[in-house]
Amino acid sequence: MRCPYCGGDDTQVKDSRPTEDGGAIRRRRVCSTCGGRFTTFERVQLRELTVLKRSGRRVPFDRDKLMRSVSVALRKRPVEPEKIERMVSGIVRQLESNGESDVSAEQIGQLVMDGLKGLDDVAYVRFASVYRNFREAKDFETLIGELTSDSPGE
């Protein structure tokens, strides 16, 4: 594993343990060259996924990009990082286990919206506004109307 600080390729694993959901191994590493410490994650990958974009382009699936998108929607929201990691891991597992190596951007977006809806309403609205390309205030009103009508007890 190459050091992210100095680029050296002589790093040692100092500690390994499973993540909370058991879906990955967390490894603490130390660079022998510069002494820098960093963390890596090892995950099972069932298949190589390709994302079919709306434009028709095909790009390799990037778990980190998915995590960044979800993190942006959840920025400054009171959601524990473990819950975010669990949600993203669940989405990736669903995509990998559906039997297809090609997945549409719409399918990924819908899974993210479903996950955020159960995690945080504000993040759900934030993500939906970008995913559904909202152009005016009534788009938000419609979505919030859907959100409140889905709430239990109403």
Rg (CA), the chain: 19
Cα–Cα distance, 44 to 3 (Å, whole number): 22
pLDDT for 14-49, tens place per residue?
999 987 767 778 899 999 999 999 999 887 665 678
pLDDT tier, 150 (very low <50, low <70, confident <90, very high otherwise): low
Helix (H) and strand (E) counts in the chain:
5, 6
pLDDT score at 44: 67
How far, in Å, are 5, 14, 21 from residue 115 at the CA level?
Answer: 34, 34, 16
More confident residue, 90 or 154: 90
pLDDT for 91-137, tens place per residue?
988 888 887 888 998 899 899 999 998 888 889 888 887 877 777 77
How far, in Å, are 123, 125, 141, 147, 149 from residue 154 at the CA level?
Answer: 21, 19, 17, 11, 7
Which of 38, 42, 44 minimizes the C-alpha distance to 26?
42
Single-letter residue type at 117: K
Cα–Cα distance, 143 to 125 (Å, whole number): 7
Q: Is the pLDDT of residue 139 over 80?
A: no
Strands 11-18 and 50-52, sheet pairing: unpaired
Single-letter residue type at 108: I
Mean pLDDT of 47-54: 84
pLDDT score at 48: 79
